[in-house]
């Protein structure tokens, strides 16, 4: 009897059981063929790509000796050299104002006018009183002369007592006239006060009182505030530890001060240090200093916050871009590109920093090439590709030697 033929399900199961075995066999064959190719092929054939292609690109700068200005930095506030609140000095009605808000005015310019009629009348009255007393003085002096003449010719007509009385009357009238003159000057002053003038050059602010209002000497609100911005002052603070360096530098002459904007990027003005405050602030451990700026372009505005840099000296040394200085667990270091095109880590000691430039006091030699961009991809003794560009990753302000 013939054996029964396998069913379709049985044949399918057999094929699935052999599939993994076939796959493993194929993979083994491929691996064996690859190994034979690797070991039988010359090593130079594998190196189809140059090692230089794996060298990361970097930008470098050359360590260069030069003089670097040493600055002390602080935060300051701009102040007007003079600030005057314009008040009335007499009571009366504000007739008019002669300025436009925000206008620049000069010393002696008329700013406002108070109704002068009352004060003019007081002046006229004082002058009339003086004229009256002067007429009486003339009469009294003539009477004194007659009494003196009669005493010489007819002593019996006038007595010495009459003479003394007349002398006293003349002296009294003279004193009265002097008082009248003082009253005239006082009334004239009051009248002058009705015309309000600018006490200094400066710029007026927002008008606080409108014409037609009655102003009085007891008013707390000024008519306007006048600020003199040319020159302008800046009051700034420095740590108390810098006091000795600043005082020593001041002995050589006035110190230069530079004011920058709040972002510490744009230079606003240059001036001179005026003074150091006469005491340190024990609460904050700082000292206050005041600098004066010509401020002809009014780049400094009263109340404005500025960054201040005080130049205390210049220092010679080896300089590199600040971007080349890195900080690690063991302190400061820089990546240095050797003559073989490989980099190494070099521990540094640094001095003052001037913007994008740092003075190196130890760790580098003149003409050493330091990496200023691309440090994150570097490993010690690894090859690098040196950029040929002359601008080094934001270090366009660095004044080092050419490569």
- Per-residue pLDDT tens for 298-328? 999 999 999 999 999 888 889 999 899 999 8
Under CATH, which architecture does the 53-67+229-256+267-300+313-403 domain have? Beta Barrel (2.40)
User: What is the model's pTM?
Assistant: 0.66
Is the pLDDT at 199 greater than 90? The verdict is yes
Check: CB of residue 294 under 8 Å from CB of residue 230. Answer: yes
Task: Parse the chain into domains and list their residue ranges.
Answer: 53-67+229-256+267-300+313-403, 116-193
Is the pLDDT at 197 greater than 70? The verdict is yes
Over residues 381-394, mean pLDDT? 64
Strand partners for 374: none
Question: What is the average pLDDT value for the chain, to the nearest integer?
Answer: 85
Burial status of residue 321 (CB atoms within 10 A of its CB: 0-12, 13-18, 19 or more)? buried
- Distance (Å) of CA 379 to CA 64, 161, 281, 338, 345: 25, 121, 49, 13, 9
List phi, psi (to 5°) of 367. 80, 0
Task: Return d(Cα 218, Cα 199) in angstroms, integer.
Answer: 20
Q: Per residue in 326-370, pLDDT tens? A: 998 989 999 999 989 899 999 999 988 877 888 998 989 999 999
Q: What residues contact 111, with CB distance under 8 A and at least 6 apart?
A: 86, 97, 98, 99, 105, 196, 197, 198, 204, 223, 224, 226
Strand partners for 343: 337
List phi, psi (to 5°) of 356. -90, 10
- What is the pLDDT, as a whole number, of residue 19? 53
Q: Per residue in 136-159, pLDDT tens? A: 999 999 988 888 888 877 766 667
Is the pLDDT at 195 greater than 80? The verdict is yes
List phi, psi (to 5°) of 94. -75, 110
Is the pLDDT at 401 greater than 60? The verdict is no
Task: Return d(Cα 221, Cα 225) in angstroms, integer.
Answer: 10
């Amino acid at each position: 009897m013939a054996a029964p033929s396998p069913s379709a399900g049985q044949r399918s199961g057999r094929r699935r059981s052999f599939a993994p075995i076939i796959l493993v066999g194929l993979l083994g064959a491929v691996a064996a063929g690859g190994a034979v190719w690797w070991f039988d092929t010359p090593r130079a054939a594998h190196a189809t790509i140059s090692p230089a292609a794996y060298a990361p690109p970097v930008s470098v700068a050359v360590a260069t000796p030069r003089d670097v200005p040493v600055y002390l930095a602080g935060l300051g506030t701009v102040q007007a050299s003079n600030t005057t609140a314009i008040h009335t000095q007499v009571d009366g009605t504000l007739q008019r104002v002669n300025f436009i808000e925000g206008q620049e005015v000069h010393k002696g310019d008329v700013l406002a006018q108070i109704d002068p009629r009352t004060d003019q009348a007081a002046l006229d009255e004082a002058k009339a009183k003086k004229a009256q007393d002067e007429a009486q003085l003339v009469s009294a002096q003539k009477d004194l002369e007659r009494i003196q003449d009669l005493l010489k010719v007819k002593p019996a007509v006038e007595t010495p007592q009459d003479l003394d009385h007349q002398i006293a009357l003349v002296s009294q009238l003279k004193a009265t006239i002097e008082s009248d003159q003082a009253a005239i000057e006082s009334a004239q002053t009051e009248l002058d006060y009705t015309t309000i003038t600018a006490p200094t050059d400066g710029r007026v602010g927002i008008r606080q009182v409108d014409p037609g209002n009655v102003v009085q000497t007891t008013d707390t609100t000024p008519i306007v505030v006048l600020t003199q911005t040319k020159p302008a002052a800046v009051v700034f603070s420095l740590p108390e530890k810098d006091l000795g360096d600043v005082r020593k530098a001041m002995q050589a002459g006035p110190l230069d001060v530079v004011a920058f904007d709040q972002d510490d990027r744009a230079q606003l003005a240059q001036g001179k240090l005026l003074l150091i405050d006469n005491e340190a602030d024990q609460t904050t451990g700082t000292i206050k200093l005041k600098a004066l700026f010509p401020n002809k372009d009014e780049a400094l505005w009263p109340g404005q916050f500025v960054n201040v840099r005080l130049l205390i000296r210049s220092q010679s040394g080896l300089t590199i871009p600040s971007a080349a200085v890195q900080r690690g667990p063991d302190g400061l270091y820089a990546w240095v590109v050797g003559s073989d095109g490989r980099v190494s880590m070099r521990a540094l000691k640094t001095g003052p920093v001037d913007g994008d430039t740092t003075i190196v006091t130890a760790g580098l030699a003149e003409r050493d090439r330091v990496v200023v961009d691309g440090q994150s991809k570097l490993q010690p003794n690894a090859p690098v590709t040196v950029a040929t560009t002359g601008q080094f990753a934001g270090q366009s302000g660095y004044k080092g030697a050419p490569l």
